[in-house]
Amino acid sequence: MKISNTLLGLLLSAFFLTPQGAVAADKKTKEAPSARKSIVVGFSQVGAESDWRRANTRSMRETFSKDNGYTLILRDAQQKQDKQTAAIREFIRAKVNYIVLAPIAEQGLDEALREAKNAGIPVIIVDRMIQAADEDLFVAWVGADFRKEGDAAVAWMEKTFADKKDLTIAHLQGTMGSSAQLGRSEGLREGAAKNPGWKILLSDSGEFTQVKGKEIMQRFLSENRNIDVLYCENDNMAFGAMEALEDARVPYGRSGGLKIISFDATRAGLEQTLAGNISYNVECNPLHGPRVEKIIRELQNGGKPHKIAYVDETAFDAATISKADIDARAY
């Protein structure tokens, strides 16, 4: 029995107008909600050793929230490389869409990152850089130019102490092998090399923590109190160093004597700069959440983000900083 095209059309129309037909017609839409599914992001954080690091974590939490269409799996490595490696492998097993990594050190993660690449999971590096044999182990990096930060501090020293023939320096370093430590330390070393009167008398790692910063400063003071500048690689170590200076009744900042250079320019750090306790504070912006999301959105749309993206930053002098500078801080 033949059915005319007209009759067939009427029958199909009737079917799709029934509840069962409506379900059938809409089935494809309901079975392909990929655009509405949350994007799963695994974030391996260094730790919570400083105000900067906590602000960085907060930025990631706020950006990759459920309301914004994300599921964030956050793992704190507690400054331990093996925990960071384990977190990357956990993310691979969980089949996350993206891995975001704030490396503890520049080396030692190649094997785990290669596993992520083989699993087809893009890796985005934030803050500290990695030195990998294969640059294809990550799709993009966003963070600060730490060497440029160090050069800014050196330029301030050259200007401030232009009339001083000899300059004695104590150097409080961050976590050894991290990009921030390497870049800021290199800036100071090269600054001292081109200024013959500069002498780095003491140098040790305070691991970016306030407690360790105080401990190292106490040892510095027991060895030599004749220090013109404390070059301190983050705000929290500077806070610890100030405690040690106060305990030892050593004047610093506007009160005379030793001048402190710090990095990060957190709100608390800038308050100490406004008070004149920190003489110069170089910004390192931790608000990477929106920057990482921009990279993910570009990848989602089939784009190719810039491999390396530096954040624009500034610096603050105790002689010129204002309260408005502090009020403008989001961290």
DSSP codes of every residue in 82-129? HHHHHHHHHHHHHT-SEEEE--SSSSS-HHHHHHHHHTT--EEEESS-
Indicate if 162 and 261 belong to the same structural domain: yes
Q: What is the pLDDT of residue 328?
A: 87
Q: What is the pLDDT of residue 34?
A: 42
Return the CATH number at 251: 3.40.50.2300
Indicate if 79 and 105 belong to the same structural domain: yes
Indicate if 107 and 158 belong to the same structural domain: no
Alpha helices in the chain (DSSP H): 5-17, 19-30, 51-63, 81-94, 110-118, 146-160, 179-194, 210-223, 235-247, 267-274, 289-300, 323-327
Worst-scoring range by mean pLDDT, 84-93, 266-275, 280-289, 321-330?
321-330
Indicate if 268 and 182 belong to the same structural domain: yes
Q: What is the pLDDT of residue 6?
A: 44
Tell me how far CA of residue 49 lies from CA of 77, 144, 213, 228, 313, in angstroms: 11, 18, 12, 27, 22
* CA-wise closest residue to 272 among 318, 213, 212: 318
Rounded to an integer, the average pLDDT of 298-307 is 96
* pLDDT-derived band at 255, boundaries 50, 70, 90: confident
CA distance 75 to 179: 20
128, 155 contact by CB (below 8 A):
no
Q: What is the pLDDT of residue 36?
A: 53
Q: At residue 61, does pLDDT exceed 90?
A: yes
* pLDDT-derived band at 140, boundaries 50, 70, 90: very high
CA distance 192 to 302: 47
Q: At residue 314, does pLDDT exceed 60?
A: yes
Q: How many domains does the chain have?
A: 2
Residue 20 lies in a domain: no
168, 131 contact by CB (below 8 A):
no
Residue 84 lies in a domain: yes
Per-residue pLDDT tens digits for 123-137: 999 999 998 878 899
Q: At residue 20, does pLDDT exceed 80?
A: no
Residue 171 lies in a domain: yes
* pLDDT-derived band at 27, boundaries 50, 70, 90: very low
Residue 33 lies in a domain: no
Q: At residue 38, does pLDDT exceed 70?
A: yes
- Our measurement of the distance from residue 165's CA atom to the centroid of its chain's CA atoms, rounded to an integer in Å, reads 37
Tell me 135's DSSP state.
G
DSSP one-letter string for 3-22: --HHHHHHHHHHHHHSHHHH
188, 231 contact by CB (below 8 A):
yes
Residue 207 lies in a domain: yes
Backbone angles phi, psi at 42, to 5 degrees: -100, 125
Rounded to an integer, the average pLDDT of 252-258 is 91
Indicate if 153 and 132 belong to the same structural domain: no
The residue segments making up the domain with residue 84 are 39-143+286-300
Indicate if 78 and 225 belong to the same structural domain: no
Q: What is the pLDDT of residue 257?
A: 87
Indicate if 160 and 279 belong to the same structural domain: yes
Indicate if 155 and 272 belong to the same structural domain: yes
Q: What is the pLDDT of residue 19?
A: 38
Indicate if 165 and 258 belong to the same structural domain: yes
Residue 4 lies in a domain: no
CA distance 138 to 125: 7
Q: What is the pLDDT of residue 193?
A: 97
Rounded to an integer, the average pLDDT of 205-221 is 97
CA distance 190 to 115: 38
CA distance 104 to 110: 13
Indicate if 139 and 193 belong to the same structural domain: no
Residue 18 lies in a domain: no
% of the chain exceeding 90 in pLDDT: 83
Residue 230 lies in a domain: yes
221, 257 contact by CB (below 8 A):
no
* CA-wise closest residue to 73 among 104, 118, 39: 39
Indicate if 323 and 184 belong to the same structural domain: yes
3-class secondary structure, 52: helix
Indicate if 294 and 238 belong to the same structural domain: no
Rounded to an integer, the average pLDDT of 157-163 is 96
Per-residue pLDDT tens digits for 217-226: 999 999 999 9
